[in-house]
Every structure is written in C-alpha cells, then in structure tokens.
C-alpha cells in the first residue's frame, strides 16, 4: 500500500495521501522511496567528457575543481588534512576546517558521476596542550566527516578499518603500562578509517555496473573479504603523510574500473595518481602546496 501511494505521485488524491502519510511516519526509508519515485522519469543529463589524460590541478581544490564538468569523475579517493595535525595547514578553528572540507566535498559531489563512490581516509587527531594546566583536545574527525558528507549529497555505505602494525605507531600507552592506574588508559591507535560513501541518486548500483559491459571478470582474483585491512604504513622523506601503494591498489580494485577518471583532491606526494596510472585509470590530482606541486611535476612529467 505504501508503495502504491508514493508511486502514483501524479494523481492529486494520492499526492495528498502521500503527504499525510510521510508527515505521520517521517521515516527515512519512505523518504527514500518517494525520492526514487519522484525522480524515476527525469531526463538524464548529458556528461561532457574532457579529461583524457592525467591532469594536475594546482591550487586550492575548492577553486580548481570548478574547472571540471559535472559528473566527469568516476571515483574519488583522498586523505584530507587532519585539521592542523601537519605543518601544511593552519585553520583558525575546527569549525573553520570542517566548513572548508564541506565546500570541497560539495564540488566533489557535483563532478562525481551519479551513483559512484567517494572514499575518505581520516582518523582522530589531538591538538597540543596550551599549558600544563590545560587538557589537550582530541578531535573525532571521522565522525564529523559523516555529517559533512551527508550534507553534501552522499550516503553512508561502509567503514573500512585500515590496521597498522603496533610497532609503527606512536606509543600512547606507556603511562598506563607503568602505573596501571584506571582512567589514565590511552591505547595505541593502530587504525585509520576509510569512509565509503555513494553519491545520492534515485537508482540502484546495478545501473552503474551495467555501463561496463566489456569488463572481464577474473574469478581467481584475490580480495579482502572483511572491512579490516592489514596494510603497513609508508614513510616518505618528502611528505609527512603518504598513502601506502597497497591501500590505493585495494580501493581502486573495489570502487573503479579500468579507464575510469579518478580524483584525489588532496594529492600530496601523488601516490594515488601513480598507482592509478599503473592500474590503467586516468588520475586527476589537486594540490595547493607549492613544494609538493613541484615534486608532483618532477615525478610525473606528463601530468
Ligand atoms: C594528508 S595529505 C595527502 C597525502 C597523500 N595521500 C600522499 O599519498 O602523499 C593532504 C594534502 O592536501 C594538501 N591540501 C590541503 N588543503 C588543500 C586544499 N584546499 N586544496 C588542495 N590541496 C590541499 C596538503 O598540502 C597535503 O599535501
């Protein structure tokens, strides 16, 4: 009955009933059904494709992404600045930082093909104490990204946990280890989140997959069967926060096809671009720091 009421949205009687019905239940699943039905006959917008080779966008991604046409990008993977954790960012406040990330996510939503995925790598950070008498502040960035991702037109699909060996992370548990005093416990953080979201659309994923008619399935291909991925981190002398190549290979395997145009709007040393090229995707990299841009240019002279 619910379906009929919402489906027959071109008949005034059902329109009125549908409205009463939604006002009463205010249920998210019903809103989603209504969204599907309301948009089922909408004409598809023509996608104008101009990106045919690896591309470097130099400058603030909030501005440079505006050069890209609607829906030209097939997949986005990125690791944004973790608030002011590194020297390349200096936001006035945490809210200021989240607002900026939101504006960039809005652009990401506009240029991402309908129904495709964005994967964001983030984890909590801690600010320095301003004096011995003050507490430090710990920011749950991954929780707050959920809000700005949904506000900018994506919906939650998965959280993948990237797990690193304990020996590779900062030791926080030392104090507790010595005193064993309750409340002083601070475990070593060996995980980071990969937030997997899909662009809101009134159709199922099958429609996206069906576009790749010539995709050859490798039935013996190895794959990660859980949302816990055990991958060693990587250090780089030129950049303080680089992706391990294996992480990029994994996300490209599960969320993109060959020849897709794939974007990293916070490219840093450009690891994602390098792996994307190797995997026959067309990378688009955004970076604003001049030092890293120079490195990117030297590294990928055909970008
Ligand atoms: C966490 S790092 C990314 C590192 C990258 N995943 C790698 O493998 O090297 C974030 C990068 O975003 C850049 N960045 C910060 N804000 C930006 C903005 N508004 N537009 C473009 N790049 C930005 C920083 O300069 C930094 O290199």
Quote the ligand 1 centre to 81 CA distance (angstroms).
6
CA distances (Å), 77 to each of 126, 205, 275, in order?
24, 19, 12
Q: Are 123 and 116 in contact (CB under 8 A)?
A: no
Length reported for the chain? 303
Tokens of 291: 């030092």
Q: Does domain 47-208+223-299 have CATH number 3.40.50.150?
A: yes
Ligand 1 pocket mutation, candidates 81, 89, 263, criterion most atoms within 8 A of CB = 81
Ligand 1 pocket mutation, candidates 57, 244, 268, criterion most atoms within 8 A of CB = 268
Quote the ligand 1 centre to 290 CA distance (angstroms).
11
Q: Are 79 and 86 in contact (CB under 8 A)?
A: no
pLDDT by residue for the chain (303 residues), tens only, comes to 778 888 887 888 888 888 898 999 999 999 999 999 988 877 777 889 899 999 999 999 999 999 999 999 999 999 999 998 887 778 999 999 999 999 999 999 999 999 999 999 999 999 888 888 898 999 999 999 999 999 999 999 999 999 999 999 999 999 999 999 999 999 999 999 999 999 999 999 999 999 999 888 888 999 999 999 999 999 988 888 899 999 999 999 999 999 999 999 999 999 999 999 999 999 999 999 999 999 898 877 655
The HSE-up count of residue 292 (CA atoms within 13 Å, CB side) is: 24
Task: Name the residue with tokens 């990378």.
Answer: 283
Residue-range domain boundaries for the chain: 1-42, 47-208+223-299
Tokens of 97: 């930082």
């Amino acid at each position: 009955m619910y379906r009929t009421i919402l489906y027959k949205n071109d008949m005034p009687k059902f329109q009125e009933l549908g409205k009463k019905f939604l006002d009463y239940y205010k249920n998210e699943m019903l809103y989603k059904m209504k969204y599907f039905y309301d948009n089922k006959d909408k004409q598809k917008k023509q996608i104008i494709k101009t990106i045919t080779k690896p591309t470097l966008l130099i400058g603030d991604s909030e501005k440079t992404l505006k050069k890209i046409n609607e829906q030209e990008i097939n997949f986005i993977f990125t690791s944004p600045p973790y608030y002011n954790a590194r020297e390349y960012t200096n936001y006035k406040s945490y809210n200021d930082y989240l607002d900026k990330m939101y504006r960039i996510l809005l652009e990401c939503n506009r240029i991402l093909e309908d129904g495709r995925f964005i994967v964001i790598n983030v984890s909590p950070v801690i600010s320095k104490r301003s004096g011995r008498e003050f507490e430090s502040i710990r920011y749950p960035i991954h929780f707050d990204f959920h809000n700005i991702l949904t506000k900018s037109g994506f919906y939650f699909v998965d959280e993948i946990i990237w797990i690193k060996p304990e020996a590779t992370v900062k030791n926080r548990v030392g104090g507790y280890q010595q005193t064993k005093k309750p409340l002083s416990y601070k475990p070593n953080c060996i995980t980071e989140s990969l937030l997997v979201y899909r662009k809101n659309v009134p159709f199922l994923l099958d429609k996206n997959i069906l576009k790749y008619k010539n995709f050859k399935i490798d039935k013996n291909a190895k794959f990660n069967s859980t949302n816990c991925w055990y991958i060693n981190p990587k250090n780089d002398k030129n950049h303080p926060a680089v992706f391990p190549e294996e992480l990029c290979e994994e996300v490209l395997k599960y969320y993109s096809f060959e020849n897709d145009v794939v974007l990293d709007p916070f490219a840093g040393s450009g690891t994602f671009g390098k792996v994307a090229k190797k995997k026959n995707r067309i990378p688009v990299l955004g970076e604003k720091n001049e030092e890293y841009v120079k490195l990117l240019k030297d590294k990928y002279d055909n970008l």
